[in-house]
Structure 1
C-alpha cells in the first residue's frame, strides 16, 4: 500500500495565505484581504498598479542555477510573484527577480498598466537595496525615499513600536547629554523622547543639528549614517526579542520525533544535519553579536570617552556592515518564524523524515550561504556529529536526539 505523500503546502504559496509578512516575505495578497475596507489602504496603496497589489515579495537566496539571469553574482535577490489567483495561492503564479536581465520589460508585462510605471520600478529597486523585509526598516527606508504607503503594509504592532522607542531611549540617553549639553526643552526624559522620535521618524529636521555637529557629518553622509545607525539599534533590539525563540528552536530540534516511513541511512544524516543546524544557528547569533559589538565599542568611545571620531568612522562604514548584519539577522529570524509556523506551540513535535530533511536542508543552505543543486541530504552525507547518542531502533516514532 502506497502511503499518503506528506503535505508540502507549507512550502508553497498557499502556506502564505494568512501570513502578511516575515523578515523574508511580504504578502500583499494577505494585506489586501485583511485591509480592503481600510480607507488608508485604498488611499495609499503599495504599488500604483492594482495587479501588483496582490503580489508576494520574497527575499530569496539564489541557488547556483539561478545566478545566470544576473549580470554579476549575488547571494540574495528580491523575488516578485504574481499569483494566478489571489484567493488560492496554491495555484502558483508568475515571477521575476528585481535586477535580472530584462526585468523591467517583464514587470511591464505583469503590471498590465502604464500609469506610474516608473514609480513602481523605483519602489522595487528601493526594496532590493534592503537586506531583509523587516517591516520597521522597510517602512523607514521607503519613507526616506518619499514613498507614501499606508501603514497597514508594515505589520508592526503599536506595542512593538513603543518597546523599540523605549529601547532606543535607553541606548542614546548619554548621547543627548553630549550633543545637547545636558539641556532639553522641558524635563530631561522629554528631551530624550523628542530625539528618539526624530531619529525614528526618518525626517530631516533642524533640531538634529547639534547631533550633526557632534558627529561631524553633513548631507547624505549624515542621513545615511543615521539610517544605518537606526538599523543597528533595530537589530540589537530584535535580537534581544528573537533569542528566546531561537533557543526554543535549538531545544525542539533535539526533541522532534520522526514518524512514518523510514530510511535508516537518511535518518542518520538528518540527525547529523540537525546538529549542524543547531551549531550554525548559535554561530550566526555570535556573528551578529560580534557585529553589534563593533557598534557598542564605537558608541562607548563617543558617549564615555567624549571622542566622536570612532563613532563617525563607524557611521561612514555602517552601510556595508548594515547589509551583512541584516542578512544574518534575517536568516535566523526566518528560521525562528518558519519553525514556529510549521510546529505551533502546544502541537505534537512530529514530522515525516522527508519533510524534516527538506526543512533542515533549507536551514543549512541559508546559514551557510552555499548553493545546492539538490535539496536532499543524502549526497554528500554530512559528518556524524551525534557522537553521544546511539541510533534509535526501528520504530515508527522516535526523537531525533541531542543536537548540541
Structure 2
C-alpha cells in the first residue's frame, strides 16, 4: 500500500495517519510461519485469533531513504517485532506512538495488521465497521466492484441467517444482514449467540466470514491463470532452451521446478480443505444439522488467516508470471534461463512434485480444475 503516491494527491486534512512520516511510507504484508507452527494442517488445528504470533502474515512499514526515489533503498519496521514501538517513536516521533487520542496511529496500524492482506475491500469494510472515516482515495476500489462484493457476501450469508432465524420476517432478516457490515448492532450478537458463541466474538467472526467470502471471489478471478501456470510447470516449456549446455545445473533446475510444483500443491491443498469444510458445514446447516457450522464459526479466524495467506501467495505467483511472460508469448524459457538458478546450492527434492497430478480445491473452486 503505497502511501507515498496516495498522500501526494491529498490535502493534509485527508491523510490517513496523524504522523506526517507515516504518510510517506509504504505498507506491505509478508508471510511468517515459524517452525513451531508446522504445516497448514497444524495451523488449522490451532486458533489463529488467540495469539498474535499465530497469524501467518505480518505487516511491515518500508521507509525509503529518498521518498522521490523509493526504489533506491530504505529500511523497514516490522509491527510485531518486540521493539516496534521504540522504532516507531525513534523514526517518526512521539506522535506516532501516542495512545490517548481516539483512533491514534498505533491503533490504525494494529487494525491494518489484523487483516491478512492489503486488499482495498477488506481494509475499507474493516475501517467502516469501526466507524473510522478515511478518505475514499486510499482504498482505490471502484464503486461497482465494491457493490458487487457486498451483494455476493450478502447472498452467501442470507440462507444461513434465514435458517438461524427459522424463517423470520424479511424486515428482521434485513436487520441481521445489515449486522454483517456493522457488527456492533444488537443483531450481530444475537446471531452468534444462536450458535452458542459469546456476543463479544461477533466482530471477529463477521470480519473473518466476510474475508473468507472475499477470498473465494478473488480466487475465482485468478483461477484461470493459476491453471495455466500449473500446466506450464508440467510441460517442457518451463525448461530453458539451452539446458543441455549447462549439465552441471540441470539437476538443480529440475529440483527447483519440482519444489515450485510441490509448494503450489500444498497451497491448493490448504485452500481445498478450508473451502471444502466451509461448504460441507454450510450444507449441513441448511439440512438441519448446525453443529458442523458452529464448529466452523468457532475456528473461523484461523481459516480466514490461512486462506488469506494462500490466496495472496497465488496472486503473487500470477503477478510474477504476468511480469516475466509478457515478452514471451510462446511460454518457452529463452536461452540463458539456467543462469537464474545456476549458483544456488542444491536442495533435497520434495516428496510431491510437478510430475504427478496437482491437487485441486474441489467443487467450491471448480475453476481450478
Judge conservation of contact 1:49–1:113 (CA < 8 Å) in 2: no
Instruction: Give me the CA root mean square deviation.
Output: 3.7
Offset of residue 82 of structure 1: 0.5
CA distance in 1, matches of 2:217, 2:185: 25
Does 2:72 correspond to 1:91? yes
Does 2:138 correspond to 1:156? no
CA distance in 2, matches of 1:326, 1:243: 15
Q: Say if 1:83 and 1:228 are closer, same or farther in 2 by CA, change over 3 A.
A: same
Partner of 1:49: 19
1:81-102 deviation digits (Å, cap 9, x = unpaired):
1011222122211212112232
CA distance in 2, matches of 1:333, 1:267: 28
Partner of 1:293: 276
1:121-175 deviation digits (Å, cap 9, x = unpaired):
2222333333332332233334445543223222333343233233324323422
Partner of 2:346: 379
Aligned counterpart for 2:285 among listed residues 299, 302, 315: 302
Judge conservation of contact 2:240–2:338 (CA < 8 Å) in 1: no
Q: Say if 1:108 and 1:115 are closer, same or farther in 2 by CA, change over 3 A.
A: closer
Q: Say if 1:238 and 1:75 are closer, same or farther in 2 by CA, change over 3 A.
A: closer
Structure 1 segments unaligned to the other structure (5+ residues): 1-25, 65-70, 359-375, 389-404
1:331-376 deviation digits (Å, cap 9, x = unpaired):
2222222322343387564565367549xxxxxxxxxxxxxxxxx6
Partner of 1:318: 300
> TM-score w.r.t. structure 2 length?
0.74
Judge conservation of contact 1:60–1:78 (CA < 8 Å) in 2: yes
Aligned counterpart for 2:6 among listed residues 27, 31, 54: 31
CA distance in 1, matches of 2:275, 2:166: 27
CA distance in 1, matches of 2:71, 2:310: 29
Aligned counterpart for 1:353 among listed residues 334, 337, 344: 337
> TM-score w.r.t. structure 1 length?
0.68
CA distance in 1, matches of 2:13, 2:267: 41
Judge conservation of contact 1:302–1:310 (CA < 8 Å) in 2: yes
Does 2:305 correspond to 1:338? no
Partner of 2:209: 229
CA distance in 1, matches of 2:129, 2:218: 21
Does 2:147 correspond to 1:177? no
CA distance in 2, matches of 1:82, 1:345: 32
Where 1:49 maps in the other structure, the secondary structure is: coil
Q: Say if 1:63 and 1:238 are closer, same or farther in 2 by CA, change over 3 A.
A: closer
Judge conservation of contact 1:228–1:322 (CA < 8 Å) in 2: yes
Q: Say if 1:342 and 1:99 are closer, same or farther in 2 by CA, change over 3 A.
A: same
Partner of 2:247: 264
Offset of residue 113 of structure 1: 5.7
1:268-311 deviation digits (Å, cap 9, x = unpaired):
42233223313431431232121112222222222221x43432
Where 2:299 maps in the other structure, the secondary structure is: helix
Q: Say if 1:288 and 1:183 are closer, same or farther in 2 by CA, change over 3 A.
A: same
Where 1:155 maps in the other structure, the secondary structure is: coil
Partner of 1:120: 105
Does 2:258 correspond to 1:283? no
Aligned residues: 329
Judge conservation of contact 1:44–1:148 (CA < 8 Å) in 2: no
Judge conservation of contact 1:136–1:154 (CA < 8 Å) in 2: yes
